[in-house]
Amino acid sequence: MKTFDYRRADSPAAAVGAAAAARTRYIAGGTNLLDLMKLQIETPERLVDINRLDLHDVEDVADGGLRIGALVPNSDLAAHPAVRERYPLLSSALLAGASGQLRNKATTGGNLLQRTRCYYFYDTATRCNKRDPGSGCSAREGVNRILAVLGTSDQCIASHPSDMAVAMRALEATIVTLTPAGATRRLAIGELYRLPGDTPHIETVLEPGELITHVELPPPPPGRQLYRKVRDRASYAFALVSVAGAVAVEAGEIRAARLAFGGIGTMPWRDPAVEAALIGQAPGRPAFEAAADALLRDARGHGSNDFKLPLARRTLVACLAELTRETGR
């Protein structure tokens, strides 16, 4: 780890001011950043500690939603009564996300901004456009079993690692930030992330020094909720495929559907065509398969992750069967 300057902020404005210098990172739980610094993948010249900021609360809002401080630990958010009662898919996603020790330290804002777990991103002896722009992508022809099949480019096939962000995408969260100019900015979570394209090292639309202060959830979606994560082992493993879903059925017809996916995309993935394939249809195998067709129409495997295409199909069909209380046959 390289040496760095350390500042402790006592207000969001002070944090943003301290982060104005080049090569600065915010630190809260540090569960991802410190690992990257030890490997010298991240080499900030300054860390701004934001743990003293008053961003630790989960609050009800007038419309029936929630306002979540960026420093709420993942464990606390998963266990919060309002989250467990009104947004159970978010609680399930958080509990599936890591070990208990990590959940106790990891924060809401940090979880949204965690970086890929691509093997080649972490191995500085290999080529990685996300780590070293323009160097190439060893993953495309290498061991890419855990990597993305949607939203990829010739420059990068790294998958986004967060479980929480997938649930937040299905719940249509809004990300609230403080910009370097001192203004409040509000971003739909789908607007926060960028596809890799030709610049995979630029992962979000946040400006340098922009600080996430809150996440806002609208009122809970109608219908049943579910989060299912398929992984190599039952504890502390990243998703091969995950589904966050909320589906409402009335009078034998699917009236509302929200579906987001993890493990298969370069960002927390949501495709309106998947939901459109379900709305107005009777629950059952034909509708479920049509939704899977929509999800995978542009999917592309890269060798050792080809299995994700049939796995994503089976997982989505099984989740829709559970959400609609149908067998899916």
For the chain, give every domain's residue range.
Answer: 1-51, 224-323
Q: What is the pLDDT of residues 199-228, one digit of tens each?
A: 999 999 999 999 999 999 999 999 999 999
Query: Rounded mean pLDDT of 25-46?
Result: 97
pLDDT reading at 328 higher than 50: no
Judged on CB neighbours under 10 Å (0-12, 13-18, 19+), 286 is: exposed
What is the rounded average pLDDT for all residues in the chain? 96
Q: Can you state the angle between helices 285-296 and 308-323, rounded to 10 degrees?
A: 140
pLDDT at 326: 63
* Predicted structure pTM score: 0.96
- Written as six digits, the tokens of 179 are 């910009």
Q: What is the pLDDT of residues 95-140, one digit of tens each?
A: 999 899 999 999 999 999 999 999 999 999 999 999 999 999 999 9
CATH label, 224-323, candidates 1.10.540.10, 3.30.390.50, 3.40.50.720, 3.40.50.2000: 3.30.390.50
**What is the average pLDDT across 249-254?**
96
pLDDT at residue 236, as a whole number:
82
- Topology of domain 1-51 in CATH is 3.30.43
Band (299; pLDDT cuts 50, 70, 90)? very high
Task: Residue 223: count other Cβ atoms within 10 Å of its Cβ.
Answer: 19
Answer for the pair 16, 209: CB distance below 8 angstroms, yes or no.
yes
Q: Is residue 329 over pLDDT 80? A: no
Please tell me the predicted confidence (pLDDT) of residue 7: 96
Q: Specify the pairing of strand 211-217 against strand 174-178.
A: antiparallel
